[in-house]
Amino acid sequence: MLAAGQGKRMRSALPKVLHPIAGRPMLEHVLDTVRLLNPAGIHVVVGHQAEEVKEGIRSGPGASGGELSWVVQEERKGTAHAVGQTLPLLDDAAVVLVTYGDVPLVSEQTLQECARLASTGGVAIITAEFDDPAELGRILRNECGGIQAIVEYADADPDQRQIREINSGILAANGALLKSLLAHIEPHNAQGEYYLTDLVGLAVRNNESVCGLVCRDPEEVIGVNDRAQLAQVERILQRRIAARLMAEGVTIADPERLDIRGDVVAGEDCFIDVNVVLGGNVRLGRGVRIGPGSVIVDAELGDGVVVHPHTVVEGLKAASGCELGPFARIRPGTELGESVKIGNFVETKKAKIGSGTKASHLTYLGDATLGEGCNVGAGTVTCNYDGVDKHQTTIGDRVFVGTNSTLVAPLEIGTDSYVAAGSTITARVDDKNLAVGRARQRNISGWTRPDQRERNKNENEQED
């Protein structure tokens, strides 16, 4: 797998093959596909920012795992030179498949067929036909339709540039044959590089068969060389993911306005509205409804959960029948029992909330455990942080917390108790108690507003 290029046209400090597609480095997409072939070994050729590429695959989101052989191309002298760096690692009797880290949409079936063709002898190459082949290498065929050579765009004459069949760069050959042909490639071209494409012409001159496998879906072999192509490939992959979900019984309001950046499993009759982003590992039960503009990451939503518009969810486990939002923020470590309601402008973090409990608006519940059937009024805050440590708030079943209450942790509030609106609670509340933590109200007669005081002072000074 060739992944040594600098990717100058990306204009980025990030190595090209680490640019994300559907939330994962494009190189990982190719690695995952290649692994489906159960290869004897995978050798990844890296060069520019080699250490960053290796680290990005080891630690990146959704990292593929598995042992890889990393081969460093110290001097980048072309694709044939890059493949040549792996020759000491290749078995002469093996079928060697050459793929690219910046061609992330190629399918298992296409690669499998290419390898199968090469196993019968000769060289197998994957081609495709594009209405606009741009600056891709062109396939040259003879009068009988046989492949004669591949010409790079920079070296092609005007007639050759009119050819619509292009070289994907992906090829396969017996290890011994590959080594023999690579040894005879010379840098006789405009770039002064060792082209892997010259291997085809050498094979023809040596009377080796060259079989062209025309890819049924040209989108599979689109390479990523700049940001525009990155966006193009992203949208193609998103359409494929959306099509799979719809085939499994999910209604998607507009597949062009859905972004999935991870692994999503959804039950039947789910509905996903526009401009939704799903990331990480997301599991949706049957009949889940997700409103427009919502972001859901690493979450498990039970049957019938409703996510209202513009809600951000991360690290949530919610039982069936819950309602979230609109404009709620659910942070990691939140667990919701059945039919919990988290309303607008409510934030939770490491909160375990029992069945039937409601926090309908304007509330923060952090490092808190709430029992079943509680009602949390607007403006309630669990004060969990003292500037050094986080502290826990524990609330029993059927507790009523009045509007604008401040619960200072560590704190326990017993079952069937009440907290009066506007209270600051700092001590334990026993079962079935009413807690009132308000300052006594004072009405000050004749009070003067500060701005009026300043005006009166100035007037007095002028009189003096």
The residues, any chain, with a CB within 8 Å of residue 212's CB and separated by 6 or more, are 124, 125, 126, 127, 139, 147
Closest CA to 168 of 120, 130, 142, 131: 130
Q: Is 367 helix (H, G, I), strand (E, B) or coil?
A: strand
CB distance 86 to 179 below 8 Å: no
Helix (H) or strand (E) holding 458: helix 450-463
Q: Is 397 helix (H, G, I), strand (E, B) or coil?
A: coil
**CA distances (Å), origin 170, targets 3, 83, 141, 213, 346:** 13, 12, 18, 10, 52
Cα–Cα distance measured from residue 10 to residue 21, given in angstroms and rounded to the nearest whole number: 14
Quote the radius of gyration of the chain (alpha carbons, Å).
32
How big, in percent rounded to 5, are the helix, strand and coil portions of the chain? 25, 30, 45
Alpha carbon 141 to its chain's center: 41
Cα–Cα distance measured from residue 431 to residue 380, given in angstroms and rounded to the nearest whole number: 20
Strands (E), 142-249: 147-151, 165-174, 210-214
251's tokens: 């209604």
Q: Tell which phi-psi region holds residue 287, choosing left (phi > 0), alpha (psi between -120 and 50) or beta.
A: left
Cβ atoms within 10 Å of 264's Cβ, excluding its own: 21
Main-chain phi, psi angles of 396, to 5 degrees: -75, -170
Cα–Cα distance measured from residue 152 to residue 422, given in angstroms and rounded to the nearest whole number: 75
DSSP 385: B
The set of catalytic residues is 361
41's tokens: 């070994």
Beta-bridge partner residues of 397: none
345's tokens: 């402008």
